[in-house]
């Protein structure tokens, strides 16, 4: 994506697949995916529950109509392909073109957090709030470490694992994502923030920076996560407001008061203070936030492992709608507490992309071009000039020696007398000429 990746939003036409319709790439027809049911549709495509006709593997298929403009699935595919090695990221199994539609086949997830909240009547235990907060923060960090910010974080863009015993929560829908970092010549560079940016995100969850049309960095995604975490515990102070300016004012005026006075929220005042001090280029302290959450979890005698309180509700709801076909067919073994703790500590303490204004590229430098700073190029040029001067000075004694050799002088005189047009101009050596050197010696003799 280039600097034009903030084009106005466009709505993607909803694509309807029939039950048992077979989808395959028009060129490589080795994988055939059979549509089972629609999982959801939105501004950026339609998602179906499918299975592989040969292997019976279950997956999710996202499809959009091909247009002459940018295709959002291409952007999503690039981001997901970059994160293929990550355990907590959605994986791609197939992609292609079918009947003038673009599609990608990816990890099948369970319901999103918005649906989970509806199932639970928006009532969660403190333990669930913290466990979900830890897993969603890890999903955000994972994306950030692969050079992108999401810019539209909200509950419906996070989904629990299809397998109830797998506690991963996946982040998806990268239609508004923007690349903020790049690794070039073994160095990290951060994209220079624009003076103003178009609105991206959702008013309820976006940061104050977005309200003010500032460039969004990693910290702004974490602010959206913070509001999500708050909302799982109780309604946000601005939940019933529709006016954008009123929402912004409420965030500015009441956020600190709510966080500091609520018995549960007050444990997270250090997170609030941390985020308030960050700027665009800063790297959030993901590990520090994790430790604050973990400390609160231990304080209430909560655990990282074990079934989530919404598991039974979501499975029962799926079975009620679809019969036994709605029940997950493969249920993995639940990992123990120590395994979860070790995994999370390793993931949160791993640092990939640094932060700070020193990593921001200078003005007029193309983020997608040669990122080597101009100053470095000038230093290289100066170094080459210095080496050239040193080599030149090293040659001077050799030339002087040749000049003072009597045999060479006699030979030069013979050449000079044989030349009809005597040339008295001399070859410059350093800052002196041969003529100047001779005159200097004559002057010394007279003294």
| Residue pLDDT, tens place only, 361-378 | 999 999 999 987 555 455
**Beta partners for 148?**
179
Q: What are the tokens at 52?
A: 């592989």
The span from the CA of 414 to the CA of 155, in Å, is 96
What does the pLDDT look like over 11-62, one tens digit per residue?
Answer: 555 678 999 999 999 787 789 999 999 988 866 679 999 999 999 999 999 9
pLDDT at residue 178 greater than cutoff 50: yes
Residue 147 confidence (pLDDT): 98
Who's near 219: CB < 8 A, 6+ residues apart?
Answer: 207, 209, 275, 278, 279, 280, 282, 284
Residue 70 confidence (pLDDT): 55
DSSP, res 4: T
Residue 421 confidence (pLDDT): 45
Among the residue ranges 36-40, 191-195, 334-338, 397-401, the one predicted with the least confidence is 397-401
**Beta partners for 94?**
105
What does the pLDDT look like over 75-130, one tens digit per residue?
Answer: 888 999 999 999 999 999 999 999 888 899 999 999 999 999 999 999 999 999 99
Could you tell me which CATH number the domain at 109-374 has?
1.10.510.10
Contact 97, 130 (CB under 8 A): no
The span from the CA of 65 to the CA of 15, in Å, is 7
Tokens 């956020």 identify what position? Answer: 255
The span from the CA of 31 to the CA of 133, in Å, is 37
pLDDT at residue 379 greater than cutoff 80: no
Handedness of CA 307, 310, 313, 315 (dihedral sign): negative
Strand order in the sheet with 58-65: 22-23, 33-42, 45-52, 58-65, 101-106, 92-98
Residue 386 confidence (pLDDT): 65
Contact 106, 31 (CB under 8 A): no
CATH architecture of residue range(s) 22-106: 2-Layer Sandwich (3.30)
Answer left, alpha or beta for residue 56, where phi above 0 means left and psi between -120 and 50 means alpha. left
Residue 434 confidence (pLDDT): 44
pLDDT at residue 269 greater than cutoff 90: yes
Residue 43 confidence (pLDDT): 61
Intrachain domains 22-106 and 109-374 with the same fold: no
Contact 132, 95 (CB under 8 A): no
Q: What are the tokens at 259?
A: 């966080």
Q: What is the pairing mode between strands 22-23 and 33-42?
A: antiparallel
pLDDT at residue 193 greater than cutoff 70: yes
Residue 395 confidence (pLDDT): 63
Please choose, from the candidates 51, 48, 26, 27, the residue with its C-alpha nearest in 3D space to the C-alpha of residue 39.
48
Residue 427 confidence (pLDDT): 41
Higher pLDDT, 41 or 381: 41
The span from the CA of 82 to the CA of 80, in Å, is 5
pLDDT at residue 426 greater than cutoff 50: no
Domain layout of the chain by residue ranges: 22-106, 109-374, 393-409+427-442
Who's near 369: CB < 8 A, 6+ residues apart?
Answer: none
Higher pLDDT, 421 or 251: 251
Residue 280 confidence (pLDDT): 98
62: annotated binding-site residue? yes
DSSP, res 393: H
**Alpha carbon 369 to chain centroid distance?**
18
Residue 205 main-chain phi, psi, to 5 deg: -110, -10
Answer left, alpha or beta for residue 15, where phi above 0 means left and psi between -120 and 50 means alpha. beta
* Burial 321-344, CB ≥16 within 10 A → b, else e: eeeeebebeeeeeeeeeeebeebb
Q: How confident is the model at residue 325 (pLDDT cuts 50, 70, 90)?
A: confident
For 218-268, where are the alpha helices, taking DSSP H only?
218-233, 244-261
For 262-373, where are the alpha helices, taking DSSP H only?
269-276, 286-299, 311-322, 337-349
């Amino acid at each position: 994506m280039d600097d034009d990746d903030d084009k106005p939003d466009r709505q993607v036409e909803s694509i309807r697949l029939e039950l048992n319709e077979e989808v395959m790439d028009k060129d490589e027809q080795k994988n055939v995916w059979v549509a089972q049911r629609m999982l959801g549709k939105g501004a950026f495509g339609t998602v179906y529950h499918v299975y592989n006709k040969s292997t019976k593997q279950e997956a999710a298929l996202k499809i959009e109509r091909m247009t002459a403009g940018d295709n959002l699935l291409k952007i999503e595919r690039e981001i997901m392909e970059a994160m293929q090695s990550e355990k907590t990221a959605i994986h791609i199994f197939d992609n292609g073109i079918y009947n003038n539609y673009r599609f990608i086949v990816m990890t099948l997830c369970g319901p999103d957090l918005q649906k989970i909240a509806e199932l639970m009547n928006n009532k969660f235990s403190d333990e669930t709030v913290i466990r979900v907060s830890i897993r969603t923060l890890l999903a955000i960090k994972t994306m950030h470490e692969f050079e992108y910010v999401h810019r539209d974080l909200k509950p419906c863009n996070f989904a629990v694992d299809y397998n109830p015993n797998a506690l991963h929560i996946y982040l998806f829908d990268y239609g508004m994502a923007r690349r903020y970092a790049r690794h070039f010549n073994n160095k990290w560079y951060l994209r220079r923030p624009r003076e103003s940016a178009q609105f991206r995100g959702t008013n309820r969850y976006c940061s104050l920076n977005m309200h003010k049309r500032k460039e969004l960095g990693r910290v702004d995604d974490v602010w959206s996560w913070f509001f999500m975490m708050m909302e799982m515990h109780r309604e946000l102070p601005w939940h019933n407001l529709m006016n954008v300016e009123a929402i912004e004012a409420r965030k500015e005026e009441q956020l600190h008061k709510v966080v500091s006075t609520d018995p549960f929220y007050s444990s997270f005042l250090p997170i609030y203070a941390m985020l308030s001090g960050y700027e665009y280029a800063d790297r959030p302290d993901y590990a520090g936030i994790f430790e604050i959450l973990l400390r609160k979890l231990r304080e209430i005698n909560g655990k990282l492992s074990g079934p989530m309180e919404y598991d039974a509700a979501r499975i029962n709801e799926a079975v009620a709608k679809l019969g036994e076909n709605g029940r997950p067919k493969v249920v993995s073994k639940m990992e123990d507490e120590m395994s979860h703790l070790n995994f999370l500590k390793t993931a949160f303490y791993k640092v990939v992309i640094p932060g700070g204004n020193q990593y921001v590229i200078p003005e007029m430098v193309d983020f997608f071009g040669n990122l080597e700073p101009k100053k470095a190029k000038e230093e290289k040029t100066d170094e080459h000039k210095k080496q050239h001067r040193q080599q030149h000075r090293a040659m001077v004694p050799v030339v002087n020696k040749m000049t003072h050799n009597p045999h060479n002088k006699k030979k030069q005189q013979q050449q000079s007398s044989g030349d009809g047009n005597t040339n008295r101009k001399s070859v410059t050596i350093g800052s002196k000429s041969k003529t100047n050197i001779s005159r200097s010696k004559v002057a010394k003799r007279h003294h």
